[in-house]
Structure 1
């Protein structure tokens, strides 16, 4: 290039194009600017083709000011020129500018193409803009283009409009994997995991092979539903993509969240490449499954050989400390976040410290910590402290904490229920009546406990006192036999976990009907002895069901895993992985 400039020589457009592509590949910004200067030297006006290549170069380098100056000075512009500018502004998240250029190109009589719309759809700042763009797409006759359809589904899903996204999917026969991936991913990311898996099955029946994007979304859906067996089947599809880091991380997450740490550890050891997400997933998985000391050991291994810890890593580390009662270690890690790793504490970290102090019975320190926080405490942090108030039977502090929650979320039924139980345990019956009256006046009802278990690819769900299951008579009959057996080894129903306006036998009958007990019994009568019983629950496990599960594993010689919204309880030989500290 220097020699050409020295001798005043010009190359043909193809040569310039190749030189510019080399600059892009090597991030050679200065050399790229030199080529730009050369092609415009001596008053030469290059063809639109070269200008578009230069425009693309500046956009790839995120030099949008230079791109705009070049664009404004171009004597001729086509759809490629406009689309390059729209794409550049979208990539830099300057969505207002991207939409402005879309309007300007149409005013100049240049029709957007599928690449223009695929780019600009990302610039939608709300559903109204999205609907207007959708109308423009239909007017331009591009609603059948696979990339435009895929982008539409993605953006509708992003805005929670799954119905509209699904309508785009169903409007015509889908003949491309890109569109299938968009709709499956949209449902999985929005928590509609059943629908995502149904679509995956439809896709397979339609003859489409799954790729990395498909499998990542399906694994996310398995994780959301805690479907370990289905997840294992998906893992079998992943073997040919075993070097794909994103898929491997999704597998790790699925196994950890399904409570199968043996599978997770095996997958982690097989990974040829690990990033901060891989390490953080394992640290959090170990902590949530009651193996806090191993989680902290994993953190030390990460610091020695892995990437720098990030925000999520430290949440896992602090969670491990709080669930193992390691107050000093938790404080040390919390205080070192900013100093060692440049991580500013966020709500999740603050919540872990409140949990750490609350579990350890340091309620005064916990309330002081909340008052000194840089961030305004949210309901999650206050609820964490309220749970500690129940464990340590501090009704007065619970009253104050509940007031803070209800000022932010006046209809939070969990707070009313927990406060009512705290008052009941302290024999404050007038306060119990006051809480229930408040709930009734606001139309607030307690969310029923629900537990579910996967058996032979079918999910069986139970709620408190469920009579709908086809095997319910057998389940209750076996429940009575099981309670007799575990009573002989020390089980005594804990009446603290039933409504306090019930009497003697009614209380015991109520405890028998807890949803996780029904699921446990179904697992015992349906699964062979060597197979673990895995149960999911929408609410935290109560103390009575915890004692029930421990003794059931002792008398029946079984392995039971129960996942509640906070952690996993692994029961074996009459012991729980949480060490009764939850």
Structure 2
């Protein structure tokens, strides 16, 4: 359009913003931001709110907040988007501060409360989460929906209060849906509670039978607890029902071009260089104290093979590619379509330490900001 000198309007830019959000493309976000700043559209509020959301999804809260602070007017969506952004990135304190500012100006709705509850869940703010949940109907006449109940189950479950989470489900005034049972199953994985996981999985295999993630999670829970026979049975059930596992991949953007990696990927033209550098990086972090966590390899193979399988996870390959192809001060931004595994999370902390690089990862659950050997999630994820 631009080459042919057709000037984009607000609708065009909203479509482009949506595309950039899907890719988590920070460089494209900056380009679109420039176009909006140089243009004078009537619906600046909608575009600026979309920009805030775009920067959040591209891993830059700094730019998101800059756009938010410069907005001449804000609506409930604008406030909720920024609050949700802080929650996704693990900054529940900032989310709650902004929520307090919002309440003085705008009445929150069910989306706002979902953003705040999610923020509390990601950071283990149990008291604040309860207060937020209880205030919905009491103070603002907002009736909790299934997703709010799911957030509360997630909040309690992540904190290790699994029995409280189950009791909460049993006392719900509405029928628990797949989101509620899914939150419990996820918490059972974190805390290795096979018994409760079986309860949650039973409901999920009926309510959400086509979702491969439910089967994979239950199979992994069995495998990590040494119940390989049960894990295989879940995999067989998937095949019987024709449910296919989602393949994991990691995306990275370098010089306005997007690259995708899968585990053990050797299709890239720099594969030899990537694997050579990967070996050097893994040796460096081993010296710093990294030890591969073999429990995240759920295949029944020798330990040496398990280590090799961990080394070539897509996250590690994408990061090494980023190290090779960007300047020493550049933030490395990657996006994983599934939840980052525990071993990769530990390894990336060490990589950020030995390379001095900041690494921002967006996975299917939240954002992780790795810097100088630590992660913004505080290992609570």
The residue aligned with 2:298 is: 499
1:340 counterpart SS class: helix
The residue aligned with 1:41 is: none
The answer as to 2:53 corresponding to 1:253 is yes
1:423 counterpart SS class: helix
The answer as to 2:119 corresponding to 1:320 is yes
Q: CA deviation at 1:443?
A: 3.7
The answer as to 2:232 corresponding to 1:430 is no
1:233 counterpart SS class: helix
The residue aligned with 2:90 is: 290
2:21 counterpart SS class: helix
Q: CA deviation at 1:386?
A: 0.6
CA 1:393/1:462 → structure 2, altered by over 3 Å: closer, same or farther? same
Distance 1:471 1:567 in 2: 29
Residue of structure 2 aligned with 1:272, choices 72, 90, 94: 72
The residue aligned with 1:452 is: 251
The residue aligned with 1:155 is: none
Q: Is the 2:224–2:298 Cα contact (8 Å) retained in structure 1?
A: no
The residue aligned with 2:138 is: 339
Q: CA deviation at 1:242?
A: 7.3
Unaligned residue ranges in structure 2 (runs of 5+): none
Residue of structure 2 aligned with 1:221, choices 11, 15, 19: 19
Q: How does 1:12-411 map to 2 (within 5 A)?
A: 203-239=1-37, 240-241=39-40, 244-304=44-104, 306-411=105-210
Residue of structure 1 aligned with 2:321, choices 503, 522, 525: 522
The residue aligned with 1:421 is: 220
Q: CA deviation at 1:521?
A: 0.6
Distance 2:95 2:123 in 1: 11
Q: CA deviation at 1:426?
A: 1.6
Distance 1:323 1:242 in 2: 37
Q: Is the 2:147–2:179 Cα contact (8 Å) retained in structure 1?
A: no
1:439 counterpart SS class: helix
Distance 1:507 1:290 in 2: 31
The residue aligned with 1:469 is: 268
Distance 2:252 2:128 in 1: 36
Q: Which of 321-330 and 413-422 deviates more?
A: 413-422
Q: Is the 1:292–1:321 Cα contact (8 Å) retained in structure 2?
A: yes
Distance 2:362 2:71 in 1: 26
Distance 1:235 1:418 in 2: 39
The residue aligned with 1:114 is: none
Q: CA deviation at 1:390?
A: 1.1
Q: Show CA shifts across 1:156-214 (max 9, x none).
A: xxxxxxxxxxxxxxxxxxxxxxxxxxxxxxxxxxxxxxxxxxxxxxx223321112222
Q: Which of 353-362 and 208-217 deviates more?
A: 208-217
Q: CA deviation at 1:397?
A: 0.9
* Larger helix share, 1 or 2: 1
Residue of structure 2 aligned with 1:489, choices 274, 277, 288: 288
Distance 2:123 2:282 in 1: 30
Q: Is the 2:10–2:41 Cα contact (8 Å) retained in structure 1?
A: no
Unaligned residue ranges in structure 1 (runs of 5+): 1-202
Distance 1:435 1:212 in 2: 48
Q: Is the 1:212–1:241 Cα contact (8 Å) retained in structure 2?
A: no
Q: Show CA shifts across 1:36-72 (max 9, x none).
A: xxxxxxxxxxxxxxxxxxxxxxxxxxxxxxxxxxxxx
Q: Show CA shifts across 1:388-426 (max 9, x none).
A: 101111111111111110012334321221112111222
Q: Is the 1:451–1:463 Cα contact (8 Å) retained in structure 2?
A: yes
Q: Is the 1:448–1:464 Cα contact (8 Å) retained in structure 2?
A: no
Q: CA deviation at 1:368?
A: 1.7
CA 1:567/1:242 → structure 2, altered by over 3 Å: closer, same or farther? farther
**What TM-score comes out, normalization by structure 2 length?**
0.96
Distance 1:241 1:563 in 2: 32
Distance 1:242 1:551 in 2: 46
Alignment RMSD (CA, Å): 1.4
**What TM-score comes out, normalization by structure 1 length?**
0.64
Q: Is the 2:349–2:371 Cα contact (8 Å) retained in structure 1?
A: yes
